[in-house]
Structure 1
Amino acid sequence: MSNKIHNHKYLEEYRKALRKNSTSAEAALWTFLQKKKLEGRKFRRQHSIKNYIVDFYCASEKLIIELDGAYHLDSAQQNYDCERTKDLNELGFEVLRFENKLVFENIANVLEEISNHFKG
């Protein structure tokens, strides 16, 4: 797949700002994903695909991890999330969504669920 959909230059400053100001759930999950800690898979955080900035992305697995805070309970946001996931799925990516509280309450299950989506 062409890299023309990845990390558009015009989103670079925004991606950097998001990395610098991650949510507590993102920071917590990142400690388990960074430096290939999860089964040797390399994850990137705040990676852009098309016009979307995803929380975590594993290129070798074409896997996207999204963490959802309270604002994702809003029906308009849920509709947007659904369309965004559909668009990313159509590009060949798999999107996993977790509520922020799961990262704090049951990180082992979150990591197992992510690992279960690794192809090999």
Structure 2
Amino acid sequence: MPDGISYTRAKAMRRVMTPPEARLWACLRGSRFRNLKYRRQHPVGPYILDFYCAAARLGVEIDGMGHASDEQAAHDRRRTAWLGGQGIKVIRLRAEDVRTELDGVLTFIGEAVRARLRD
């Protein structure tokens, strides 16, 4: 269950999306992608997922250059492990791929969703 701080932060983050987040959201919002509902900036416990599909229990994270540092990578691994313990699979996408390879990104998300719905 998210805490009050996570809800407040998530609400603020919804107002200021990065360009790759906005680009992907345009494809996911309103059940446009494979007729599944996605939420943006969705709080789960102390964390906020960029996008979340509840039907597949799938989190989608868009990683910019800030995720390349060793410290951030370690944090991302801890976060992914914690979310996995909550039954949520997290897939990570590079922001550059969202900008330049949107069709491939959507194919990858679609395959991840299909695998989760089969499980």
Tell me if TM exceeds 0.5.
yes
Equivalent residue letter for 2:67: H
**Structure 2 residue runs without a partner (length 5+):** none
Equivalent residue number for residue 22 of structure 1: 17
Please list every run of 5 or more consecutive structure 1 residues that lacks an aligned counterpart in the other structure.
none
Deviating beyond 6 angstroms after TM superposition, the runs of 4 or more aligned structure 1 residues are none
Report the TM-score, using the length of structure 2 for normalisation: 0.92
Match of 1:95? Answer: 90
Q: Where does residue 47 of structure 2 map in the other structure?
A: 52
Once the 2 structures are TM-superposed, how far is the Cα of residue 117 of structure 1 from its aligned partner? 1.6
CA RMSD after TM alignment: 1.1
Offset from partner CA, 1:40-62 (integer Å, 9 cap, x none): 01000000101000100000100
Aligned length: 115
Letter in 2 for 1:10: I
Larger mean Cα displacement after TM superposition, 38-47 or 86-95: 86-95
> Post-superposition shift, 1:14?
1.1
Q: TM-score, normalised by structure 1?
A: 0.91
| Aligned equivalents of 1:8, 1:61: Cα separation in 2 | 23
Matched, 1:33 2:18: no
Hey, what's the Cα distance between the residues in 2 that align with 1:96 and 1:70? 16
CA contact (8 A) 2:6 2:45 kept: no
